[in-house]
Structure 1
């Protein structure tokens, strides 16, 4: 309702002076009451709309803030990233980095019985071409590797400082750490079974010979020790023998020879593992949008 300067009040089609309605007309109070009630309802609806709008804006701001915050990787995603980073090393690292030219390894003091150990050196004789896992291992080992997804085998041969012993180290490549671990568990069971037959060459990686070197006579029948270990997406094998044409012998009966052959094999295998499976920090998002 509005009032003009002449004192005449207006409300719809009704007109009166001094606030008095014309005869026969309805009292103006009731329509005014309905309008005031409608205004209050409108204000309530507007308030509800405002609350809903503010809530929607808040939700939108939370969504935007979440997108701008650094992404949090799950434990599974972190492991997948680590597997990918470690697993690509065999492709991108030079062969001479995977298989160092020389390796230093310890010989336990217990061998000498005087509390003093030695640090010995093995030298690389040669690096073989990449091979398939079945082509580079015994059949029983190849079956295990195939079941767990072995992709390739890398091999190199080393000799000790006196050229008396030779060792071939082999790297079986897998797609994930879980696959490599599963393969190693099966290989450990195979190794325990083969230990019951010391008169047979221990199954494992096949030796790689190089003519005109101490490894010229290193054939499968002359393997004395074989073993494996896993790290990251790899299973690393080693097999050790004599540089001469000596056939398989029960080296476990000679503690010194057994220790020296084992130290050579383990030392070279660890050197390769330290390159290919060097630990990585747990992956995290650097904090940029879209990470």
Structure 2
């Protein structure tokens, strides 16, 4: 018994159709890898961390507080297209920056206790005013000493126990003399948000109030203050939108800075 000579697939014998199929397959492979890479970068910038909190980006974000100028974390002007009530545009101007420091005395006691498991490396804060100088908002970046697992644990606790919505866990504002926020104290807090990141060792928060120093008897978290038809003073004034809109954009800027290539000195 004898077998016929096996069919050969050598390049000289490939017809035009086979070559076109090979080129198309290679192009699809390159395109697929590009889409996957783009999805990874995009999910980081939008907050969908998945398992990428374990990679070098988490470590890179931890160093931003001392490696990036203040303007890179808290831009002098922040544009908020569609960030206001009803999709109105907003513009915020930075009016004060607190010296970077630890967390001692920076939070109400219960919030400090809730955040204690992730530690405190540095706390950065800046206060902004809206274009009308009617509202003021403090944004904070708490750089923790935690690893990805600890950040996930804290985020899960905040979500399950609703800690971000409790009035006894509101973050404190940063007031500065001679600015629109001179009278922005604890009793002037109107709306707030707290976000525990899992792809960076950072807790982002914002708290808003009126620039005229009026006290607030019924502060509300942004989820309630931004609901359609909200009747609270904070909701009707759009202070929930102020806190949420500014916090979102500072968080987005943080992510973009963490993923941007840095120029190393020669």
How far apart, in 2, do the equivalents of 1:258 and 1:76 lie?
36
Deviation at 1:241, TM superposition (A): 0.7
Deviation at 1:106, TM superposition (A): 4.0
Give the TM-score, by structure 2 length: 0.65
Deviation at 1:183, TM superposition (A): 2.7
Give the TM-score, by structure 1 length: 0.59
Deviation at 1:238, TM superposition (A): 0.7
| Structure 1 stretches lacking a partner, 5+ long | 1-74, 195-200, 282-291
Q: Deviation per CA, 1:2-52, whole angstroms, max 9, x where unpaired?
A: xxxxxxxxxxxxxxxxxxxxxxxxxxxxxxxxxxxxxxxxxxxxxxxxxxx
How far apart, in 2, do the equivalents of 1:126 and 1:187 lie?
29
Q: Does 1:93 align with 2:63?
A: no
Partner of residue 130 from structure 1, selected from 71, 88, 100: 100
Partner of residue 82 from structure 1, selected from 54, 57, 76: 57
Q: Does 1:102 align with 2:70?
A: no
Q: Deviation per CA, 1:64-88, whole angstroms, max 9, x where unpaired?
A: xxxxxxxxxxx98982422211211
Partner of residue 248 from structure 1, selected from 210, 216, 221: 216
Q: Deviation per CA, 1:187-229, whole angstroms, max 9, x where unpaired?
A: 44353662xxxxxx55332111111211010001110112111
Deviation at 1:230, TM superposition (A): 2.7
Deviation at 1:275, TM superposition (A): 2.5
How far apart, in 2, do the equivalents of 1:77 and 1:257 lie?
37
Partner of 2:255: 277
Partner of residue 192 from structure 2, selected from 226, 236, 239: 226
How far apart, in 2, do the equivalents of 1:272 and 1:77 lie?
20
Number of residue pairs the alignment of both structures matches? 196
Partner of residue 167 from structure 1, selected from 113, 118, 137: 137
RMSD: 2.8
SS for the counterpart of 1:271 is: helix
Q: Does 1:215 align with 2:185?
A: no
Relative to 1, partners in 2 of residues 1:206 and 1:255: Cα closer, same or farther, differing over 3 Å? closer
Q: Deviation per CA, 1:102-151, whole angstroms, max 9, x where unpaired?
A: 11124468x45xxxx32110110111011222321111111122122232
SS for the counterpart of 1:207 is: coil
How far apart, in 1, do the equivalents of 2:212 and 2:194 lie?
24
How far apart, in 2, do the equivalents of 1:78 and 1:139 lie?
29
| Structure 2 stretches lacking a partner, 5+ long | 1-49, 220-224, 261-266
Deviation at 1:277, TM superposition (A): 2.5
Q: Contact 2:108–2:172 (CA<8 Å) still a contact in 1?
A: yes
Partner of 2:46: none
How far apart, in 2, do the equivalents of 1:273 and 1:222 lie?
24
Partner of 1:191: 163
Whose radius of gyration is greater, 1 or 2?
Answer: 1
Q: Contact 2:191–2:234 (CA<8 Å) still a contact in 1?
A: no
Of 172-181 and 265-274, deviating more is: 172-181
Relative to 1, partners in 2 of residues 1:257 and 1:81: Cα closer, same or farther, differing over 3 Å? same
